[in-house]
């Protein structure tokens, strides 16, 4: 039981060291946002490509109606 409590408080010590690191080097927070920016750019590009593809399919379907 003592080991569990010791590790619990050791976790708080690691958390405090992490906040101290952010206080000394605030640009690290911006570095942490880099993956978010990359994924957002990829999702926006995929959404734009999907919209273009759907527009092309719809205009092709409108230009070539299916015979009745």
Is 9 within 8 Å of 16 (Cβ atoms)? no
**Domain regions of the chain by residue span:** 2-63
CB atoms closer than 10 angstroms to residue 30: 9
Question: Is 63's pLDDT higher than 70?
Answer: yes
Q: What percent of the chain has pLDDT over 90?
A: 51
Give the pLDDT confidence of 11-35 residue by residue, as tens digits.
999 999 999 998 999 888 888 899 9
Longest dimension (CA), the chain: 80
Model confidence, pTM: 0.54
């Amino acid at each position: 039981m003592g080991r569990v409590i010791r590790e619990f408080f050791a976790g708080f010590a690691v958390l405090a060291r992490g906040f101290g690191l952010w206080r000394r080097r605030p640009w690290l927070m911006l570095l942490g946002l880099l993956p978010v920016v990359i994924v957002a750019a990829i999702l926006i590009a995929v959404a734009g490509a999907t919209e273009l593809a759907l527009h092309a399919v719809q205009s092709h379907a409108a230009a070539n109606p299916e015979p009745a």
